[in-house]
Every structure is written in C-alpha cells, then in structure tokens.
Amino acid sequence: MGNKESVFTQEQLDIYQDCTYFTRKEILRLFKRFHCLNPEVVPKDMKNEEDSFKVPYEDIVRMPELQENPFKRRICEVFSECGDGSLSFDDFLDMMSMFSESAPSDLKAYYAFLIYDFDNDKYLGPYDLEQTLKCICRDELKQEEINVIVKQVLIEADVDQDGKLSYIEFEHVISRAPDFLSMFHIRL
C-alpha cells in the first residue's frame, strides 16, 4: 500500500467507494482538499477516527467551487448532518459525490429540491421560491418583480393548485429544462 492510501484502511476506502461516485484515487484527493480546509481540525490519519470532527461552514465556503455560489449556505446546510453547515468528511464526500458528473440526474434533482426548500417543509412554497429568486438574482429584483415571478411559477407548475410545489411537480418542471441539472456539478 502506498503512502497516500495510509490515510484510510482498505475497508474504509471500500465503503467510501461503494457509497459514492468516486474512485479510490478521487476519494484520497478529496480528503486532501478537505484536510486543507482546516488542518487543525481534520486529522491526517483517518484509520482510527470516529468522524466526530466537523469543519465549520466558514472554512467550507472558502472552496473556490462554493465561494461565488449564491446557494453556498443552503448547500452546506443540506449536506450537514446537524444542519448548521459544518461538515464531517462523510458529509463533505456526500456533497461532492452528488455534485460529481457521474451522479444520476434523479439524485441531482432530489438535492436541488432540498436546497431550494429553505423552510424545510418538503414543499417549495412562495417563501422558498422567493428566497431562490433572491439567491439567483443576487437581490437585484424588486419585491414586486419577485412576487410576479413567484405567482407565475405557481400558476404554471402547481398542478394540484395547493399553493406550493411538491417534489413531483418540481421534477416535472426541471424535466422540461434539460440544462438545469447540468449546472449541478463540481469538477475535481
């Protein structure tokens, strides 16, 4: 076994490889990136770790892939087991796996829905759509414009007319926008 692979046991690497869309080499590269985010918190050797450490949100968003992403807070909150945006290595690996080019589109759609569900009620209501627009447009729209867009989205996509989008309704909308899911990736 090479020096690089000594970070994990073979069993740990097997599990990570089985649970992600990454090769062993990519997992080791991702661990190196994760370690560099906060070397004081992340141990160099993970063989005996219980994964009880977490890298704070403030360190995670220093990654170039997240720095300019308007959804960086929501992305970290969704993948954070405790919901505060801090990530364990397992959380980080899950996040990066979902954003990999190999992740299936249905998984990307599911996580896009979770990211846009700001109030975590399992629906995209007017508040969620408003927050999504504010992120996308970086607060450049007037409130009246946001209200019109939210109303129009609900008119066009809310099939059961309950004032909110279910996951099925969201999935139907993005199925008509093939470029949508192509934006959900991070190159390693």
* 3-state class (DSSP) for residue 165: strand
d(C-alpha 186, C-alpha 171), whole Å: 21
- For residue 103, tell me if it sits in a domain: no
**162 within some domain:** yes
Instruction: Decide which of 42, 67, 98 is a domain's last residue.
Output: 98
Q: Is residue 111 part of a domain?
A: no
Residues 128 and 171 in one domain: yes
35/66 same-domain check: yes
Same domain, 94 and 16: yes
**Is the Cβ–Cβ distance between 113 and 100 less than 8 Å?**
no
Domain-embedded: residue 147: yes
14 and 94 within one domain: yes
- Are 104 and 181 a contacting pair, CB within 8 Å? no
Q: How far apart are CA 88 and CA 56, in angstroms?
A: 9
Residues 15 and 92 in one domain: yes
Q: Do 173 and 94 belong together in one domain?
A: no
Together in a domain, 128 and 174: yes
Among residues 42, 66, 98, which one ends one of the domains?
98
Nearest of 68, 187, 42, 87 to residue 135 by alpha carbon: 68
pLDDT at 153 over 50: yes
pTM for the full model? 0.90
Is 2 part of any domain? no
Q: What is the CA radius of gyration of the chain?
A: 19
The answer to whether residue 53 sits within a structural domain is yes
pLDDT digits (tens, 9 = 90+) for 56-88: 999 999 999 999 999 999 999 999 999 999 999
Is 5's pLDDT higher than 60? no
Q: Is 41 within a domain? A: yes
Among 98, 132, 154, the domain boundary falls at 98
Q: What is the CATH number of the domain that holds 170?
A: 1.10.238.10
Domain total in the chain:
2
Residue 81 domain-assigned (yes or no):
yes
Taking only the tens place, the pLDDT of each residue in 90-148 is: 999 999 999 999 999 999 999 999 999 999 999 999 999 999 999 999 889 999 999 99
165: which strand partners?
124
Q: Provide the β-strand partners of residue 55.
A: 87
State which residues form the domain around 63.
8-98
